[in-house]
């Protein structure tokens, strides 16, 4: 593997934006081409996956993964942003002393869409929604389709409710928190949010940005074979690899598959291909 391409799992701290981490990694590594697989707000912490070099072309396969979060919801108040950054815009004294955790879980798992927050990065006429909200301009935002596959209340000590959820791409946990409060007959906003996993990858496997240096960053690269366990892995001899890297399909026996990682004889990832009717067709070529 080239030292200038790979994936880094970082446990983002509070108070720093996802793009600020990109800038830090550019300064540390000297690599300008860096992307990530899902933004975390500055007020959220947890797992971010960064791709360096040509590996940014593989982000598409990770962005669609379900994500798991742990959040702390404060009941009795609603803020304009859905988190601690915004001013309080509504209050409610109707804070339940006890809740039915199982009933709440069942209701949450039935949700198929959630409100898109006014303070979000969703583009409206080329501008992020939050730019309108900050100027007091109201814009119509469509609800987002979501799938919540797991939900549990970890603890409830009024007015604080701690919950864990596993959700589909693009789910706004701030909106989920507000809806939870509504289902409990009150108002609420998230005071803490942490992303604990992306797909099968856990935040416990991630490094801190403070641990990444110019000398060791490539040693922190996460093994690509473990990153994509559901992909077929295929090692090609030099001549076949040459054909594939030049964009040419080649005969290759096996079942049809649209997710195949192509490696050279040294175990270095060269690209992604798909197999159809015994033909291997390249569609992502990774250049060192």
Give catalytic residue positions. Answer: 41
Interatomic CA distance for residues 36 and 21, integer angstroms: 10
- Residues 6+ away with beta carbon under 8 Å from 129: 116, 117, 118, 119, 120, 121, 122, 123, 139, 141
What b/e string do you get for 187-217 counting C-beta neighbours within 10 Å, with b at 16 or more? bbbbbbbbbbbbbebebeebbebeebeeeeb
Q: What is the DSSP letter of 80?
A: S
Q: Contact, 178 vs 74, CB < 8 A?
A: no
Distance from C-alpha of 157 to C-alpha of 170, rounded to nearest angstrom: 29
Q: Give the DSSP H/E element, type plus range, for residue 178.
A: helix 173-183
Element of type H or E holding 90: strand 88-91
Q: Which residues of 237-250 are buried (b: 16+ CB within 10 A; e: fewer)?
A: eeebbeebbeeeeb
Q: How many CB atoms lie within 10 A of CB 112?
A: 9
The residue assigned the tokens 């990153």 is 227
Q: Take residue 12 and report the two structure tokens written for it.
A: 């983002």
User: How far is it, in rounded angstroms, from Cα 65 to Cα 48?
Assistant: 12
């Amino acid at each position: 593997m080239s030292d200038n391409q790979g994936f880094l799992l970082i446990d983002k701290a509070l108070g720093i934006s996802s793009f600020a981490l990109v800038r830090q990694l550019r300064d540390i590594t000297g690599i300008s081409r860096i992307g990530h697989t899902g933004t975390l707000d500055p007020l959220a912490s947890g797992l971010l996956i960064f791709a360096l070099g040509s590996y940014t072309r593989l982000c598409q396969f990770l962005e669609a993964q379900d994500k798991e979060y742990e959040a702390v919801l404060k009941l009795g108040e609603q803020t304009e942003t859905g988190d601690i950054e915004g001013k309080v815009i509504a209050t409610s004294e109707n804070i339940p002393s006890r809740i039915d955790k199982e009933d709440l879980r069942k209701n949450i798992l039935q949700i198929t869409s959630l409100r898109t927050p006014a303070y979000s990065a969703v583009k409206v006429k080329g501008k992020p929604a939050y730019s309108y909200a900050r100027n007091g301009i109201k814009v119509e935002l469509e609800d987002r389709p979501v799938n919540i596959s797991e939900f549990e209340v970890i603890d409830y000590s009024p007015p604080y409710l701690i919950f864990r959820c596993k959700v589909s791409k693009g789910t706004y946990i701030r909106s989920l928190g507000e809806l939870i409060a509504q289902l409990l007959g009150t108002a609420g906003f998230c005071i803490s949010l942490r992303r604990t996993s992306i797909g099968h990858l856990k935040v416990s496997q991630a490094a801190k940005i403070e641990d990444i240096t110019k000398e060791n960053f490539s040693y922190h690269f996460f093994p690509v074979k473990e990153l994509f366990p559901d992909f077929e892995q295929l090692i090609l001899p030099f001549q076949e690899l040459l054909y594939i890297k030049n964009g040419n399909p080649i005969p290759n026996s096996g079942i049809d598959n649209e997710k195949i990682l192509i490696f050279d004889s040294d175990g270095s990832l060269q690209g992604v291909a798909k197999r159809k009717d015994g033909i291997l067709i390249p569609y992502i070529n990774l250049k060192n």
